Structure formats: C-alpha cells, structure tokens
C-alpha cells in the first residue's frame, strides 16, 4: 500500500492512527483499522488518502460533540498495518503483531 502513498500521506496516516487509531478484529475474525474523531474533515481525508470510497459513519451524541468513524477491514487493513508498523509506538506495534500473527 505504501507504494501508492506519498511519504507525506504515510506520515499523516501514521500520526492520525497513533493518536486516534484502533487496531482490532471485526467480528473477532477480520483485521480492522479504525479511527473515530470529532473532526469530520480528518476522517474524510483518512478515507481519501487510502482511496476508500465509503462515507464515514456519523454518530450524534446528546451531551458531547458528534463523532465520525472511518474504518477499513480485511486485506486492505492488513496491508495498512504492515505499512505503518515500523512507525508506530511499541504498544501499537504489539497490537498489530497480535492481530497479524493470529490472522496471518
């Protein structure tokens, strides 16, 4: 995936994921990379940079700011995990390894 991302966009994705990202399994089976933010523009940009054509999920909250969720699943998520791995914190690297080893 990184061959299609500029160094700047890869750095931007790494920064967003380090601060707001979640690496987990969807339905306890499929690798997933997910962000949730109150900054709608950033979630739309996350999708645009990754070439995803879906619309982020919008969550309306009573006593808090609304949030937007963007996620990718399956093979695309695995590729992104591999690409960002060397740039992530130790804790996030451990989580990525756990997901990739369990679902190699």
CATH label of the domain that carries residue 73: 3.10.28.10
| The predicted structure's pLDDT at residue 62 | 87
Q: Is 23 buried (19+), middle (13-18) or exposed (0-12) by CB count in 10 A?
A: buried
Output the pTM of the full model.
0.89
So what's the pLDDT on residue 72?
A: 96
**pLDDT of the residue at 5:** 87
Residues of the chain with pLDDT under 50: none
Which residues are CB-contacts of 85 (< 8 A; sequence separation ≥ 6)?
93, 96, 97
What pLDDT score does 2 carry?
Answer: 57
| Residue 28, pLDDT score | 87
Domain limits at 87? 2-102
- pLDDT value of position 89: 97
Question: Considering its fold, how many domains does the chain have in total?
Answer: 1
51 exposure class (CB count in 10 Å sphere: 0-12, 13-18, 19+): exposed
């Amino acid at each position: 995936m990184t061959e299609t991302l500029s160094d700047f966009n890869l750095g931007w994705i790494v920064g967003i994921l380090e601060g707001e990202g979640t690496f987990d399994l969807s339905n306890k089976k499929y690798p997933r990379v997910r962000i949730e933010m109150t900054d709608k523009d950033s979630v739309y940009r996350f999708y645009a940079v990754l070439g995803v054509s879906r619309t982020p999920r919008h969550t309306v909250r009573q006593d808090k700011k609304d949030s937007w969720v963007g996620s990718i699943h399956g093979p695309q998520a695995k590729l992104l995990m591999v690409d960002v791995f060397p740039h992530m914190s130790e804790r996030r690297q451990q989580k990525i390894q756990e997901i990739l080893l369990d679902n190699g």
